[in-house]
C-alpha cells in the first residue's frame, strides 16, 4: 500500500475518493456523512505502527498515567465513522479502530471533533477550554482521562507531526491541510 493510502486510511479517508492534497472542511459537523465506510481492516496495522512509534519516541509519558496505564480509553472523533480504543500499557500497547455501533468495553470515553482531538494530542489547544465550550465530552473514569491528558501534554513537540512523518511528504501535506482547516474554523 502506498504512503498516501496508508495515511488516508489512518484519518479515515479512502484514497480513491479524495484529492492528493485534500482541502478538508473542519466546519462540517458530520464529515462522516460524505466519507465512505472506513476500511478498518486496513487501519489496524497502521494504528499499531503509530502507537508503537509514539511510545518509542516518548517513553517518559507513561509515568504520568500512574495506575491507569491498563485503562481502556475510547477516543471518539465524532465526525468520523469510527472510534479508537487505546490501552496505553507500555508492555502491551493497544490502539484499534471500531465501528461506532460496535463500541468496545472501556473505562473512559473522550469525544470531540477530529481536528480538536488532533490539536489536543499535539498540545495546540487547551482541553479545559474545549470542555468549557462543550466541544469535548468526558465520560467514565475521569481520573484516568486526567492522567492521559497530562501525560500527552508533557510531550514536547508534535505527536501529529511524528505520525505524519511516518508517511513521508504525503503525510506532512495532509497534516498541513488538516491544520489549515482548523485555522479556518478558528478564525471563522
Q: What's the min distance (Å) between Cβ of 6 and other proteins?
A: 29
When binding is defined by CB under 8 A, the residue of 31, 50, 65, 159 that contacts other proteins is: 65
**Is residue 14 a contact point for other proteins (CB under 8 A)?**
no
Cβ closest to other proteins, residue 12 vs residue 127: 127
**The three grid cell numbers given for residue 8, joined into one nine-digit string:** 488516508
How many amino acids of this chain bind other proteins (CB under 8 A)?
33
Element spanning 146, H or E: helix 142-153
Residue among 137, 176, 180, 183 that touches other proteins (CB under 8 A): 137
Q: Are 77 and 85 in contact (CB under 8 A)?
A: no
Residues 93-132: x where in contact with other proteins by CB under 8 A, - otherwise, as a string: ------------------------------xxxxxxx-xx
What is the rounded distance in angstroms from the CA atom of residue 47 to the CA atom of residue 64? 22
Q: Which residue from 35, 74, 121, 145 is in contact with other proteins, where contact means CB under 8 A?
A: 145
- Check binding of 57 to other proteins (CB under 8 A): no
Name residues whose C-beta falls within 8 Å of residue 18's C-beta, 6 or more positions apart in sequence: 8
DSSP letters, 20-76, are: SS----TT-TTHHHHSPPP-HHHHHHHHHHHHHHHHHH-GGGGGGGGGGGG--EEEE
Angle, CA 182 vertex, CA 179 and CA 184 arms, to 5°: 110
SS3 161: helix
**Please, what is the minimum distance in Å from the beta carbon of residue 172 to other proteins?**
22
Residue 32, interface with other proteins (CB under 8 A)?
Answer: no
Q: How far is the CB of 133 from other proteins (least distance, A)?
A: 6
Q: Choose the binding region for other proteins from 3-11, 25-33, 42-50, 152-160 (rule: CB under 8 A).
A: 152-160
Of residues 2, 21, 27, 139, which one binds other proteins by CB under 8 A?
Answer: 139
Q: Which helix (H) or strand (E) holds 79?
A: none
Residues of this chain that interact with other proteins (CB under 8 A) are 63-66, 68, 123-129, 131-134, 137-139, 141-143, 145-151, 153-156
Amino acid at each position: 500500500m502506498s504512503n498516501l493510502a496508508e495515511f488516508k486510511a489512518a484519518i479515515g479517508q479512502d484514497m480513491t475518493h479524495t484529492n492528493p492534497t485534500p482541502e478538508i472542511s473542519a466546519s462540517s459537523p458530520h464529515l462522516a456523512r460524505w466519507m465512505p465506510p472506513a476500511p478498518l481492516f486496513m487501519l489496524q496495522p497502521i494504528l499499531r505502527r503509530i502507537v508503537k512509534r509514539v511510545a518509542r519516541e516518548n517513553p517518559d509519558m507513561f509515568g504520568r498515567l500512574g495506575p491507569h496505564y491498563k485503562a481502556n480509553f475510547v477516543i471518539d472523533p465524532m465526525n468520523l465513522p469510527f472510534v479508537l480504543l487505546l490501552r496505553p500499557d507500555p508492555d502491551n500497547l493497544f490502539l484499534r479502530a471500531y465501528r461506532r455501533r460496535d463500541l468496545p468495553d472501556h473505562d473512559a470515553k473522550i469525544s470531540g471533533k477530529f481536528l480538536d482531538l488532533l490539536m489536543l494530542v499535539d498540545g495546540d489547544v487547551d482541553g479545559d477550554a474545549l470542555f468549557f465550550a462543550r466541544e469535548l465530552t468526558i465520560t467514565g473514569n475521569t481520573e484516568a482521562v486526567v492522567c492521559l491528558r497530562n501525560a500527552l501534554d508533557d510531550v514536547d513537540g508534535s505527536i501529529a507531526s511524528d505520525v505524519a512523518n511516518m508517511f513521508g511528504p504525503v503525510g506532512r501535506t495532509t497534516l498541513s491541510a488538516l491544520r489549515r482547516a482548523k485555522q479556518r474554523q478558528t478564525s471563522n
